[in-house]
A and B are shown apart, each in its own frame.
Chain A
């Protein structure tokens, strides 16, 4: 995770932003490191706020009205969330007299009354859950990620939500809140599915990507909730590969938006002309998130499937995977040469066409720094995919329980992938047809208000508190 933070930061500074921008960027990065290494709940709270303040400023950096509003929305929601976290910290201190995660792990929570314990852990989890953006709390994310400057989106989506997920994992493990795990499976599966439906409905390229961040977080959460060594490995593996390929996608799409001057998937055309790297980046990123070999997304998604196999939530995840393929076929329309109304197929041939034919006057070359950042991420995405099984084995040993890593490059896995891609293509064709578009517009018009989100918030709190109590009887 620490490495990912470094990667994302390294890919960022190649932009035309000034020193103040870099300051907030570094502040955010420092805060994230601190969240990960701290062993104290209150320090975690402070680190979260350091991260958050940096991020609020970064999101609103371009000072557009949308950016400001998105940042304000995030500001309100995550501040309220972090207040709940503080409340949880207070309950922990009142009853246990300690805030050290180490002391708590050693069994200090054994003497706790179940009711208080449940509400404290619920407050902590919901507080961080807002940052992690699984479904009831996700509403800030598409706005914030879509309107942030492009490299900031890459950082936000690639690393920030993983950091809060990691913090949540540490808290749940420290408090031994095992009863919450099935809840995580279901929340994760529902998150994956709902977010994909919304992603399919989007026209805005960056917002589409943002919804996919939520969806992929759902995959990670569900896999982690399955709670065996293989599942944990799959969750961490998917977290790392998602960080890499989503950073890549956001950078590429961001550059593409700048070059074509439009955010609409249906208007952006021929963006890759004069910059083959852009096309390769987009295709590789889309292939990785759809789980096509040999990208890292394929390896980690196979692991997630293997870990979840047989669970009822598995079905939801499969549908979500099909949806992912479909929406990236939709996104890859931007590679098509200028106006021709057919559906894109995500392969290099279209990119080549885009370079040759005439159209939008954007045939300029890619700046070196941006190109370098894209190339580094590209190599990482493919590289971690090719040696993925070996890496997963190593990760399993790090997690502590040596798990049996299934061979992901088996023929059955490949057949499975082909099936998913095929279904995805059909779905994409459906979504792009006129009735599909109308439904999509209806769906994307549904956006909860702040008040509704706060109601979700309290509901989530009650849910998190009740589930362990009910499980305990």
Chain B
């Protein structure tokens, strides 16, 4: 059940993100749109690995390997998402720093203000 809710939420976020990317002209808002899309994809991955009422995938006393296989959340999607989040962070930081530089250069945060630059 949880997985379904999360999946729907993830697709909602992704749609919102794509819409934001396509319709906005404000540089910061485009970046927010991208962040939403990013988060949506991550959420989708986590949602798939999640198991309702599952335990953390850590070997400890009382839980054997078989117990983990039957009861724990799949750790691989979480691990992948952790990596993807870090990458997403780096990319977003880069986008924001470029946006700041753009503003410093052109005194405008709207991407289509500057006519000689083709967007």
Q: State the A residues within 8 Å of B (CB).
A: 42, 45-46, 49, 52-53, 56-57, 60, 63-66, 68-69, 71-73, 75-76, 79-80, 83, 86-87, 89-90, 93-94, 143, 447, 449-451, 454-455
Q: Which of A46, A68, A93 contacts B98 (CB 8 A)?
A: A68
Some 10 contacts from A to B, beta carbons below 8 A apart, are: A56-B94, A64-B105, A66-B117, A72-B27, A72-B95, A72-B98, A79-B91, A83-B37, A450-B111, A450-B119
B59-104 interface (Cβ within 8 A of A)? 76-77, 80, 83-84, 87, 90-91, 94-95, 98-99, 101-102
Flag whether B34 is at the interface (Cβ < 8 A).
yes
Find out whether the CB atom of B34 lies under 8 angstroms from the CB atom of A80: yes
Find out whether the CB atom of B34 lies under 8 angstroms from the CB atom of A68: no
Contacts of A73 in B (CB 8 A): 119
Most chain A beta-carbon neighbours within 10 Å: one of B21, B48, B90: B21
Contacts of B18 in A (CB 8 A): 454
Q: Which of B80, B111, B119 contacts A42 (CB 8 A)?
A: B80
Q: Which of A52, A72, A454 contacts B102 (CB 8 A)?
A: A72
Contacts of A49 in B (CB 8 A): 87, 90-91
Flag whether B45 is at the interface (Cβ < 8 A).
yes
- In the complex, how many angstroms separate the beta carbon of B42 from the nearest chain A beta carbon? 8
Find out whether the CB atom of B102 lies under 8 angstroms from the CB atom of A68: yes
Contacts of A447 in B (CB 8 A): 118-119
Q: Which of A60, A71, A87, A455 contacts B41 (CB 8 A)?
A: A87
Find out whether the CB atom of B102 lies under 8 angstroms from the CB atom of A65: yes
CA distance in complex: A65, B106 (Å): 7
Contacts of A42 in B (CB 8 A): 80, 83
CA distance in complex: A463, B102 (Å): 35
Most chain B beta-carbon neighbours within 10 Å: one of A64, A68, A80: A68
Find out whether the CB atom of B22 lies under 8 angstroms from the CB atom of A69: no
CA distance in complex: A66, B112 (Å): 13
Contacts of A52 in B (CB 8 A): 91
- In the complex, how many angstroms separate the beta carbon of B72 from the nearest chain A beta carbon? 16
CA distance in complex: A455, B48 (Å): 27
Find out whether the CB atom of B22 lies under 8 angstroms from the CB atom of A454: yes
Contacts of B118 in A (CB 8 A): 143, 447
Number of B positions contacting A (CB below 8 A): 35
New A-B pairs, 4, CB < 8 Å, besides A57-B94, A79-B91: A76-B21, A79-B38, A89-B80, A143-B118
Contacts of B90 in A (CB 8 A): 49, 53
Contacts of B114 in A (CB 8 A): 65, 69
Find out whether the CB atom of A86 lies under 8 angstroms from the CB atom of B119: no
Find out whether the CB atom of B91 lies under 8 angstroms from the CB atom of A75: yes
Contacts of B112 in A (CB 8 A): 449
Find out whether the CB atom of B23 lies under 8 angstroms from the CB atom of A72: no
Find out whether the CB atom of A46 lies under 8 angstroms from the CB atom of B83: yes
CA distance in complex: A455, B44 (Å): 22
CA distance in complex: A94, B22 (Å): 29
Find out whether the CB atom of A60 lies under 8 angstroms from the CB atom of B98: yes
Q: Which of B94, B101, B117 contacts A75 (CB 8 A)?
A: B94
Report, nearest first, the 5 A-B pairs whose CB atoms are least far apart.
A451-B22, A65-B105, A447-B118, A49-B87, A69-B117
Given A83-B38, A86-B41, decide whether A53 and B119 contact each other with a Cβ distance below 8 A. no
Find out whether the CB atom of A72 lies under 8 angstroms from the CB atom of B99: yes
Q: Which of A57, A65, A66, A454 contacts B21 (CB 8 A)?
A: A454
Given A69-B117, A143-B118, decide whether A450 and B22 contact each other with a Cβ distance below 8 A. yes
Q: Chain B: which residue is nearest A64 at the CB level?
A: B105
- In the complex, how many angstroms separate the beta carbon of B115 from the nearest chain A beta carbon? 12
Find out whether the CB atom of A68 lies under 8 angstroms from the CB atom of B30: no
- In the complex, how many angstroms separate the beta carbon of A152 from the nearest chain B beta carbon? 16
- In the complex, how many angstroms separate the beta carbon of B20 from the nearest chain A beta carbon? 11
CA distance in complex: A338, B26 (Å): 45
Given A53-B90, A56-B94, decide whether A90 and B45 contact each other with a Cβ distance below 8 A. yes
Contacts of A86 in B (CB 8 A): 41, 45, 84
Q: Which of B21, B76, B106 contacts A93 (CB 8 A)?
A: B76
CA distance in complex: A450, B118 (Å): 10
- In the complex, how many angstroms separate the beta carbon of A32 from the nearest chain B beta carbon? 17
CA distance in complex: A52, B94 (Å): 11
Find out whether the CB atom of A53 lies under 8 angstroms from the CB atom of B98: no
- In the complex, how many angstroms separate the beta carbon of B32 from the nearest chain A beta carbon? 12
Most chain A beta-carbon neighbours within 10 Å: one of B30, B77, B84: B84
CB 8 Å contact bits of B43-63 with A (1 = contact, 0 = none): 011001000000000000000
Find out whether the CB atom of B119 lies under 8 angstroms from the CB atom of A449: yes
Find out whether the CB atom of B111 lies under 8 angstroms from the CB atom of A75: no
- In the complex, how many angstroms separate the beta carbon of B28 from the nearest chain A beta carbon? 12
Q: Chain B: which residue is nearest A57 at the CB level?
A: B94
